[in-house]
Amino acid sequence: MKEFTLEKFEEASELVQKVTSETKLVFSEFFSEQSGNKVYFKPENMQYTGAYKLRGAYYKISTLSDEEKAKGIVTASAGNHAQGVAYAAKLAKIKATVFMPTTTPLIKINRTKNYGATVELYGDVFDEAATKAMEYAKESGATFVHPFNDLTVATGQGSIAMEIIKELPTVDIILVPIGGGGLCAGVATLAKMLNPNIHVIGVEPENAACMKASVKEGHIVTLPSANTIADGTAVKTPGDKLFNYVKENVDDIITINDNELIVSFLDMVENHKMIVENSGLLTVAALKHLDVKGKKIVAILSGGNMDVITMASLIQHGLIARDRIFTVSVLLPDKPGELAKVADLLASERGNVIKLEHNQFISINRNAAVELRITIEAYGTEHKEQIVERLNKEGYRPKLVRSKGTYNA
């Protein structure tokens, strides 16, 4: 495929419906009230493989000749693309080989194997695995399915735009995550073909904004690093085959810092009971950056593959960011009854004590100063300030302690 065409987008949209879960738009009362717009989510995190990647992989396979299918396909990925390709190949009943870095978590390796793919571990990072996969493609004759820099794959991803517009023809703005640019190029190009008045906004991690940098410079830019918790969009170089489509059809690109993703994760869990991975949360965080009111906005939630340990960490950091959990240090004499006094004070202010650390060695004169660090659960910033003010009033001279492991603001 040399260029995107409406005919191919229509073909892809019909084909992927056979293998994808129906991800109808979800209206968000919470985010609508917050933003003053009508906000809808396109929940691709609810796909069988946990992400939109199945669309592009399956459509790519559908375009292969019988001879090409007989030789199988090969790809490189440590995440959603690996699982999308493996499952698409299983549905098409062809062989798939997936090269994954040796650092890939075991759960992702096993999931990819369970979909029927052969997994080869090679290198420490994606680039090394990708190089090996392309070597394998040349040697074996298998078709290499690129994670993003492939117009046929991107056409399959663009089927999301077709579904959005069919369900909500009057959509004003579509928010799309950007990694390498495949999803964004496909969605933006088809959206503009169907309705040039739709505003398409790409969203990138602040520390991996390779597409924004490339658009600004007018040519492909490679970043020195791509350090972000949004690992699915941690790309240093955008796809050169996609760049012009993004430049022509995307109206703006917003960047999001990691702290915003942490808070967005908590918002989605509490208000929608949805697990959305960090890359999929980019569009949720972007809602606060829009200077519009009364618009119909669709935010694409690109995936929901996240391990339990990462979820637990995000929830903890989100609670800290929202002042729902905080730590305070107070000094008190080392004698019986002092701890009880502080506990009674906190109870009277409805602060829930989560953790206590008692340090008797902060001063040589233990009667003058023993440090007590208290981690407290509060209702939010106002309640936190109320508790700190009461401690001050009672002479404890509280100092707020930055929790270990929190992300920099």
Domain of residue 77, CATH code: 3.40.50.1100
- The kind and range of the H/E element at 164 are helix 159-167
* Average pLDDT of the segment spanning 229-256: 94
Co-location of 306 and 258 in the same domain? yes
Does some domain include residue 407?
no
Question: Rounded CA gap, 398 and 15, in Å?
Answer: 63
- State how many domains the chain has: 3
Of 317, 348, 365, the domain-final residue: 317
pLDDT score of 160: 98
Co-location of 279 and 143 in the same domain? no
Co-location of 61 and 47 in the same domain? no
Q: Is the pLDDT of residue 47 over 60?
A: yes
Give the range of the structural domain holding residue 358, as residue numbers without chain letter.
323-401
Co-location of 393 and 342 in the same domain? yes
pLDDT score of 290: 97
Q: Is the pLDDT of residue 403 over 80?
A: no
pLDDT score of 366: 53
Of 147, 169, 199, the domain-final residue: 147
Q: Is the pLDDT of residue 367 over 70?
A: no
Co-location of 305 and 171 in the same domain? yes
Report, as residue numbers or ranges, the catalytic residues.
53, 302
Report residue 313's pLDDT band, with 50, 70 and 90 as the boundaries. Answer: confident
Co-location of 334 and 393 in the same domain? yes
Of 275, 291, 317, the domain-final residue: 317
pLDDT in tens, 323-363: 899 999 988 877 788 888 888 999 999 999 998 887 766 55
Co-location of 256 and 210 in the same domain? yes
pLDDT score of 368: 56
Co-location of 46 and 67 in the same domain? no
Co-location of 352 and 237 in the same domain? no
**Upper half-sphere CA count for residue 3 (Cβ side, 13 Å):** 4
Please name the amino acid found at residue 143. T
Report residue 365's pLDDT band, with 50, 70 and 90 as the boundaries. Answer: low
For residues 277 and 247, the answer to whether their CB atoms sit within 8 Å is no
Q: Is the pLDDT of residue 306 over 50?
A: yes
**In three state form, how does the secondary structure of 27-85 look?**
EEHHHHHHHCCEEEEEEHHHCCCCECHHHHHHHHHHCCCHHHHHHCEEEECCCHHHHHH
Does some domain include residue 408?
no
pLDDT score of 322: 85
Q: What's the chain's Rg over C-alpha atoms?
A: 25
Co-location of 26 and 165 in the same domain? yes
Co-location of 140 and 160 in the same domain? no
Does some domain include residue 142?
yes
Question: Rounded CA gap, 267 and 29, in Å?
Answer: 12
Co-location of 260 and 392 in the same domain? no
Does some domain include residue 397?
yes
pLDDT in tens, 132-181: 999 999 999 999 999 999 999 999 999 999 999 999 999 999 999 999 99
